[in-house]
Copies of this chain bind each other. A is one copy, B any other.
């Protein structure tokens, strides 16, 4: 079916080796032979067999990305954009991207990571949504398997990562609302166990404390990162006394849920109650009102994560294996005008 080196060799009446080296452009092949080789390769439509090359080189040329997703209908735009980032960068370096999805901490996830470290499945992995005591990272480190994480962890392993400074981001967001005059601010935190959630929560708590603002119990609730979750928790928050003048969510999707539920209750977001999010997913620029949030360059983060991974796979140690990006505050209408 497909044209192989052997076919070319037969056609040209020379050895397979010479053909191989001619194609690779080695300079120990007569110039004229080179030309003849490349010519017939072209003519016969030769394409090297990647599997064979991989076997020989003991490399797969494939990067793995295991998405930690809950049920099937997840729609966190984070993932599409992140995949685009790593995928395009991988393609630039002639790597392919293998994607699989597993619920976090599930058996399937464990098996897949196990497979990665024990058989020659992929050359390296990209890990996202790092967790406290992250078993994936422990495994990868123990096996000395090439990977880069988007996010840090709290254990003692030293590993390459790209991360955004969630704490700094959340500080900026909270301070913005405090500067607008808000004193009663409720917070919907990401699920505990996720490192970035922890940083965002800390950013909230510290900034409130720094400004001498108490955070009574019940003013911090734990969400599930979904829009529905944000909507439901809004009910609890509206029952607080005094009623919060601002609600901040640990991610944009939850913030959207909050806005919608508030509107259903007849509140005008940005006037009656202010809302803030985190991520700056493309959607929130066009909501009504547009959402004040913290911008993360997800595509760019994907690109850099992938780039670092490829460096590691190729045996180059990355210039800076611990990249921490500072996200920026994006003020839109949902945070409203200064209040009394």
| Residue among A81, A97, A99, A228 having the largest count of chain B Cβ atoms under 10 Å | A99
Chain A, interface SS category: helix
Residue on B with the closest CB to A269? B288
Closest to A47 in B: B119
Is there an interface contact between B51 and A72, defined as CB atoms closer than 8 Å? no
Judge whether B85 and A72 touch: CB under 8 Å.
yes
CB distance from A176 to the nearest CB of B (A): 22
Known: A51-B54, A84-B74. A286 touches B260 (CB 8 A): yes
Contact indicator A256/B286 (Cβ below 8 Å) = yes
Cβ contacts under 8 Å, A75 to chain B:
77, 80-81, 281-283
Bound: A98/B283 CA distance, A: 27
A231 is an interface residue with CB less than 8 A from chain B: yes
In chain A, residues 48-84, which have Cβ atoms closer than 8 Å to a Cβ of chain B?
48-52, 54-55, 60, 62, 67, 69, 72-77, 79-81, 83-84
Smallest CB gap from A300: residue in B: B72
Quote the shortest CB–CB distance from A123 to chain B (angstroms). Answer: 11
Docked CA distance A2–B117 (Å): 9
* Distance in angstroms between the alpha carbons of A243 and B25 in the assembled complex: 68
Q: Is residue A87 contacting chain B, with contact meaning CB distance below 8 A?
A: yes
Residues of B within 8 A of A18 (CB): none
Residue from the list B97, B118, B287 in contact with A98, Cβ < 8 A = B97
CB within 8 Å for A51 and B47 given contacts A97-B98, A283-B283: no
Q: Does A115 contact B (CB under 8 A)?
A: yes
Q: List 8 A-B contacts (CB under 8 A).
A: A49-B55, A67-B84, A83-B101, A88-B101, A91-B108, A97-B98, A227-B286, A260-B286
